[in-house]
Amino acid sequence: MLQAGEWAYSETLKEHFMNPKNILQGENTDDFDGVGMEGNLQCGDQMMVVIKVDKEKDIITDCQWKTYGCASAIASTSVLSEMVKGRTIEAAFNISPKEVAQELGGLPDNKIHCSVLGDKALRAAINNYYTRTGQEDKVKQEQVKIVCQCMNITDHDIEDAVLEGARTYLELQERTKCGTVCGQCKEESEALLEKYKHIHFGA
């Protein structure tokens, strides 16, 4: 329950919104090793992530950003920029929107979509770094596939849900909220549900 005077968002989110960390100052990105941008202004969300990489150790030493978007979008890019510093490129690449949301102390359901773009932009920046440094072979396509755009549910989330016990589409919906908005993802998520049931439980 929301208390009077309380925000609809967690304290962590509020803190990152009030005092965002690692905002890219100015427009110049020349000092950075990778630049990624996702989203567009028409949809109301756009994020740019820039990274510096320690090329010996493959570690991200700096991560800055710009975001056009709501409070959740701003806070999630801010928290993401803190999370990736010091991580290996590999580890950074695998950060999921879920982890970002957890780090923020949770996001309201209708705001989950706002946090997706940040890690997408991060992966774009990493791929950009690989391209620039002649490591095209390492450029990775999105490893996870977003199945439900509305709730930002990936094939991995569906697999997790199956592993955690979801056996029917309804149970999957209850666990992940997949398909609870526009419903256009139903067919694909049902197919994945069957696939993972088969893989993991031979069902």
List residues binding another protein (CB under 8 A). 17-18, 20, 23-25, 27, 37, 40-48, 65-71, 73-74, 110, 113
Helical segments of 10-111, H only = 11-18, 71-84, 89-93, 97-103
40 vs 102, which CB is nearer to another protein? Answer: 40
Site for ligand FES in 177-196 (CB under 6 A): 179-185
Residues with catalytic function: 43, 114
73, interface contact from ligand FES, another protein, none, CB < 5-8 Å by kind: another protein
Figure out which of the listed residues 121, 125, 150, 192 binds ligand FES, where binding follows CB under 6 A.
150
Is 148 one of the binding residues for ligand FES (CB under 6 A)? yes
125 vs 150, which CB is nearer to ligand FES? Answer: 150
Enumerate residues 6+ apart whose C-beta is below 8 A from 147: 153, 154, 155, 157, 158, 178, 185, 188, 189, 192
User: First-to-last CA distance in the chain?
Assistant: 40
60 vs 114, which CB is nearer to another protein? Answer: 114
Q: Mark residues 2-41: x for contact with ligand FES by CB under 6 A, - for none.
A: ----------------------------------------
Q: Specify the DSSP element, H or E, that contains 51.
A: strand 45-54
**Helices and strands, number each (H, E), in the chain:** 8, 5
121 vs 166, which CB is nearer to another protein? Answer: 121
Q: Mark residues 73-102: x for contact with ligand FES by CB under 6 A, - for none.
A: ------------------------------
Structure tokens at 45: 């969300």
CA 135 to chain centre: 24
CA distance 45 to 172: 28
184, interface contact from ligand FES, another protein, none, CB < 5-8 Å by kind: ligand FES
| Total residues found in the chain within this entry | 203
